[in-house]
Amino acid sequence: MFVARSITADHKDLIHDVSYDFHGRRMATCSSDQSVKVWDKSENGDWHCTASWKTHSGSVWRVTWAHPEFGQVLASCSFDRTAAVWEEIVGESNDKQRGLSHWIKRTTLVDSRTSVTDVKFAPKHMGLMLTTCSADGVVRIYEAPDVMNLSQWSLQHEISCKLSCSCLSWNPSSSRVHPSMFAVGSDDINVTCSGKVQIYEYNENTRKYAKAETLMTVTDAVHDIAFAPNLGRSFHILAIATKDVRLFKLVPIRKESTSTGPTKFEVQIVAQFDNHNSQVWRVSWNITSTLLASSGDDGCVRLWKANYMDNWKCTGILKGDGSPLTGSSGQPTAMSTVLGSSIQTSQNALNGISAGSSLKALYISAHSPNHSHIHTPVGQDCHARR
């Protein structure tokens, strides 16, 4: 029912991130070996490395794809305090590499004074915009005024979060009812009392982003954060990877028509799972937001799904080698409940950490037209980002 296939990644150090393109047919990986690799899926389902190049002068923490509407574009961020934008181009007819594609650097963003810990493209309805967050506690939003010229990016917003930033996520909702919104998480170990997740919202009047909410109950280091795809809901769902997995519902409170401040939210915790019994490093939604995957230091990927009563349950567990985790009865954990429409391409793969010289990237796909890909963590954590 599920197929787990091992891919020899050939990175020379820890793999920190895996990202899938919009269609789930291409994959990018990044590593402490300072390189990014691009993989393409063949017709028979095998993955082949089609490009590999040195991208930064430090560990590469994250890599992400732009929407294909803007071409084949990647962004990466690194401990070297920079983020970079890469574009795949096909050799011209008079080029010795005629018909062959290769990746070129379009720009380097050098505004951060410390390690750039996450990079994300904004939802495509906002245009070609790129967001970074850094250990210096600043979120920066860039825009490419001309999508045909990716060497030109302008810094539109610089938002100080007062806490060292570790991860960010855009709310993908394109509804006009919901202003543009993103969440940022912190792994600042020097601050123990304040909330480690902040929500920022765009204000049309001031044309700036303002803090709308702080999740005060999240006091442990946050490693990943992900808004669920919003398919017409009036509220938002946010998944957080910390010492456990947490799901929050953010219900906008109707504000007065004369109010100019950011939206206020009623914050509800929907679910909290400590099944990993360890730090959780990645959370990732499928495209319909019916299935959540998480990976942790226990070396397992766990799949979560809500029933008709909106109670979230674990519907599958896979170990780092791709085999299902057997229960007390000795039988593999049932995973049939997560098949069908709930398995669709995740826009971002789960983070994986691979140790040693023989690196493996593991993905799980259901036998359906679309695929959900997961990369599991193996070995120790090495996220020394600052």
Question: Alpha-carbon distance 168 to 182, whole Å?
Answer: 7
Token representation of residue 275: 């099944």
User: At residue 231, what is the residue type?
Assistant: L
The percent of the chain in helix, strand and coil, each rounded to the nearest 5, is: 5, 45, 50
* pLDDT at residue number 157: 96
Distances (CA, A) of 33 to 76, 219, 359, 376: 13, 32, 12, 19
Tokens 């962004």 -> residue: 75
Q: Are 286 and 347 in contact (CB under 8 A)?
A: no
Residue type present at position 368: S
pLDDT at res. 378: 34
Residue entry with tokens 């963003």:
109
Regions of the chain short of the pLDDT cut 50: 93, 327-386
pLDDT at 177: 74
| Per-residue model confidence (pLDDT) at position 318 | 87
Q: Is 95 left (phi over 0), alpha (psi -120 to 50) or beta?
A: beta
> What's the whole-model pTM score?
0.83
Cβ-in-10-Å burial (0-12, 13-18, 19+) of 382 comes to: middle
Q: Which are the contacts of 205, defined by CB distance < 8 A and separation ≥ 6?
A: 260
Q: Is residue 166 within 8 Å of 116, Cβ to Cβ?
A: no
